[in-house]
Amino acid sequence: MASNLTWLTPPTGFLFAPPVPLCGHPLPPQLSFPWARPLWLNPRPMFELLKTDTSSKARLGRLTTPHGVIDTPVFMPVGTQGSVKALDPRELVEMGTKIILGNTYHLSIRPGMDIIRAAGGLHGFINWPLPILTDSGGFQVFSLAKIRKVREHGVEFRSHLDGSPLFLGPKEAMEIQRHLGSDIAMIFDECPPHDAPAKEQKLAVERTIRWAKECREQPRAPGQQVFGIVQGGSNPELREQCAKAITALDFDGYAIGGVSVGEPEPEMMKAVELAEPFLPAHKARYAMGLGTPAQLVELVARGVDMFDCVLPTRVARNGTAFTRKGTYAIKGGAVKADFGPIEEGCGCFACKNFSRAYVRHLLNVNEILGLRLVSIHNSHMFLDVMADMRKHLAAGTFGEFRREFIAGYVPTRKVLASRGRE
């Protein structure tokens, strides 16, 4: 079968030319944004821990990358296939986005590495001047693949598009991310379902550790940071084993994986709490695929710095708006004649210019503007909550902010049910 596999990797021999000019050099035409700050190349990417909250484990930090400085805690809008759904780069920058996420698996299949390489890397291809984090594709291999066989050095599987045989492993994932030129690359790991048997969880941890060692040895793009990933489900022993082994490899930062895979909220919080004590304080910490606004506040309080989640734009396409009091359906008849904004007090473009009644009308007649406006609002709301947390951490008032936010936020029925409170 190996002879028929398509390897998800660029052709060998390509010399990576980063699309980031050195300080003082003119920007290439495709990156000359009138609204973007100048790009620069920092030879020493690093995370600085600026302050720790006295009432919790919340941290205020700063992460330096080749394409800019990221203040943490930070939320990363998800641009899996090179685009944050329904939003353009100008809108993302205007609402305060400092970093977006892309995906190795999807981008390597479409448009393919030849195209992205010809554009000078992912930044040039999508015309985005700020930092990018790329997921390794491990999650997609295990969630999208119709048929897969786990081998010592990776996974044989079939494309979710046409069923063609493919192979992706640590070497391939890191090489693709090197040519993408992302500021932060993730190691290739195994992410089993939250309800996987104990034996399967143990094997996933062992493979994740083994693959992490292989990822650690691969070449990187100039200035590119690599984050390790801690697996282990909600098993204390496996989380500790994986965290200790991964941190011993001295990656630039660490992610908590195996969350946002269908587990109830208490189990998700437990997984984070099990891993966090073993993560070094002087490195950035990233909870993958999380979460709702209230969950972000609670996860920051548990010592996490970075987050990504598809929820803001995904639920927007179904007509659901996030607010600081919870979510509500704009498509419903209750707002048919409501001429207030999507959320009172919100400063986003949608709330400053359009009413709930108008947005509801757009959604119900299937006008694209409707889902775009809700996507703008939801994404702005997530970013604004993160900005508020940074402000309160700097002022020493995070504990009060946390109590007030959680008290005023009404979770969904699904979350309440997972807590046993519905």
Boundary of a domain, candidates 249, 275, 309: 309
Examine the domain organization and report whether 264 and 117 are in the same domain: yes
Q: Is residue 145 part of a domain?
A: yes
Boundary of a domain, candidates 309, 328, 357: 309
Give the burial class of 333: count Cβ atoms within 10 A of its Cβ; 0-12 exposed, 13-18 middle, 19 or more buried. exposed
Examine the domain organization and report whether 325 and 382 are in the same domain: yes
What confidence tens digit (pLDDT) does each residue in 254-310 have? 999 999 888 999 999 999 999 999 999 999 999 999 999 999 999 999 999 999 999
Q: Is residue 360 part of a domain?
A: yes
Examine the domain organization and report whether 364 and 300 are in the same domain: no
Reported for 144-150, long-range contacts at CB under 8 A and 24+ positions apart, including other chains, are 144/105, 150/190, 150/207
Examine the domain organization and report whether 127 and 163 are in the same domain: yes
Examine the domain organization and report whether 111 and 237 are in the same domain: yes
Q: How far apart are CA 75 and CA 53, in angstroms?
A: 19
Q: Is residue 364 part of a domain?
A: yes
Boundary of a domain, candidates 278, 309, 340: 309
3-state secondary structure at position 106 = helix
Q: Is residue 27 part of a domain?
A: no
Q: Is residue 10 part of a domain?
A: no
Supply the range of the domain harboring residue 374. 320-418
Q: Do residues 18 and 363 make contact, with C-beta atoms less than 8 angstroms apart?
A: no
Q: Is residue 30 part of a domain?
A: no
Examine the domain organization and report whether 260 and 348 are in the same domain: no
pLDDT tens-place values along the chain, 422 residues long: 333 444 443 333 222 233 333 223 333 344 444 444 333 344 456 999 999 999 999 999 999 999 999 999 999 999 999 999 999 999 999 999 999 999 999 999 999 999 999 999 999 999 999 999 999 988 887 787 678 888 888 999 888 888 889 999 999 999 999 999 999 999 999 999 888 999 999 999 999 999 999 999 999 999 999 999 999 999 999 999 999 999 999 999 999 999 988 899 999 999 999 999 999 999 999 999 999 999 999 999 999 999 999 999 999 999 999 999 999 999 999 999 999 999 999 999 999 999 999 999 999 999 999 999 999 999 999 999 999 999 999 999 999 999 999 999 999 887 877 776 54
The single-letter DSSP state of residue 177 is H
Examine the domain organization and report whether 64 and 102 are in the same domain: yes
Examine the domain organization and report whether 197 and 161 are in the same domain: yes
What confidence tens digit (pLDDT) does each residue in 71-80 have? 999 999 999 9
Strand ordering across the sheet containing 74-77: 74-77, 306-309, 284-287, 253-256, 225-230, 184-186, 132-135, 100-103
Examine the domain organization and report whether 305 and 365 are in the same domain: no
User: Which residues are CB-contacts of 233 (< 8 A; sequence separation ≥ 6)?
Assistant: 192, 194, 196, 201, 239, 258, 271
Say what the alpha-carbon torsion angle 135, 141, 145, 147 is, to the nearest 10 degrees: 170
Examine the domain organization and report whether 349 and 214 are in the same domain: no
Q: How many domains does the chain have?
A: 2
Q: How far apart are CA 301 and CA 286, in angstroms?
A: 13
Examine the domain organization and report whether 51 and 82 are in the same domain: yes
For position 286, which CATH number holds? 3.20.20.105
Residues recognised as catalytic:
135, 308
Examine the domain organization and report whether 358 and 288 are in the same domain: no
Q: Is residue 19 part of a domain?
A: no
Q: Is residue 29 part of a domain?
A: no
Q: How far apart are CA 312 and CA 321, in angstroms?
A: 8
What confidence tens digit (pLDDT) does each residue in 28-66 have? 344 444 444 333 344 456 999 999 999 999 999 999 999
3-state secondary structure at position 244 = helix
Find the helix or strand (DSSP H, E) in which 395 lies: helix 368-395
